[in-house]
Copies of this chain bind each other. A is one copy, B any other.
Amino acid sequence: MAHYNYKNLSANLENNGVLSLSLNRPRKMNAFNEELFHELKVCFEQISWDPDVRCVVFSGNGRAFCAGIDLTFLASNTTIEETDIGRKSLILTKFVRALQNSVSAIADCNKPVICVIHGACIGVGIEVVAATDIRYCTSDATFSVREGRMGLAADVGGLQRLPKIVGNDSKIRELAFTARDFRGKEAENLGLVSQVFDDQAGAMAAAMATAQEIAALSPVAMVATKKTLNYSREHSVEEGLDYIATLNGALLQSEDVPIAVAASQTKTKPTFSKL
């Protein structure tokens, strides 16, 4: 089994293929600094191709999921010594692209990612959350697209992903423009989270149970489902149909199909080999 040794992330891989991964800067309420952004990217790229991992449960250590970006880090990157406005603009764009790539590593990861949110989930925090697949939260979770209050537009994926994953555009715009807080129940009504739980323990238990269900299914089917959902979100129905038909040209030849069909007919539990 591969090791997951990160300074700002803690990981625990169970035998059933479920990886528990947590943001681990509890004293900073898991605020994102350069190192955490970097580790996030490296870690999800590792997970994407680790045959031992079949599903991820992603949460935050300490009293909050994430308090946002580390202001010291932001300050040091926006007050750079370059003085020409044009050159500085190119550097800042590069800087933002790097942060975006870290967050996109979650969405691009081959394995389903279930996110458990408790406490504050602010700014970069909610943008990270939007890049996961399934979201559970506690009723006292507090979300905010806080960037509007920091004098800038959210720029690591929130304004792109949130409207594509919720069902009330009027409210999502209100939240983005006012940068106000909202709680778990409102997040569920929006369609941002699947379910709200009384406390973190309950949310974690449910996430682990869902993850275990997913981990027991064909890992080939899971990768194909995630890739297809991601592709189809950005393309027309017709293009999405072409994509899955092309992909399934190979994947229908996997041994997992006859294994699953046989198990279904004998009402037994199938076993699928690692990816």
Q: Which residues of A contact B (CB under 8 A)?
A: 49, 55, 71, 74-75, 78, 84-90, 92-94, 96-97, 100, 104, 107, 110, 112, 133-135, 147-157, 159-161, 163-171, 173-174, 176-180, 191-194, 210, 213-214, 217-218, 220-226, 228-229, 232-234, 236-238, 240-261, 264-265, 270, 272-273, 275
Contacts and interface: CB of A to CB of B under 8 A. Distances in A.
Best-surrounded residue of A148, A213, A272 (most CB of chain B within 10 A): A148
A152 B88 contact: no
Given A151-B221, A170-B193, A241 B160 contact: yes
Number of copies of this chain that the complex holds: 6
A177 B214 contact: yes
A194 B169 CA distance: 8
B221 A147 contact: yes
A168 B191 contact: yes
A65 to B, nearest CB: 15
20 contacts: A71-B261, A84-B273, A86-B256, A87-B275, A90-B220, A107-B237, A134-B177, A148-B225, A151-B259, A152-B224, A153-B247, A157-B241, A159-B232, A160-B232, A160-B237, A163-B229, A170-B192, A173-B229, A234-B237, A243-B246
B159 A165 contact: no
A78 B135 CA distance: 35
Task: Name which of A86, A92, A179 has the most chain B CB atoms within 10 A of its CB.
Answer: A86
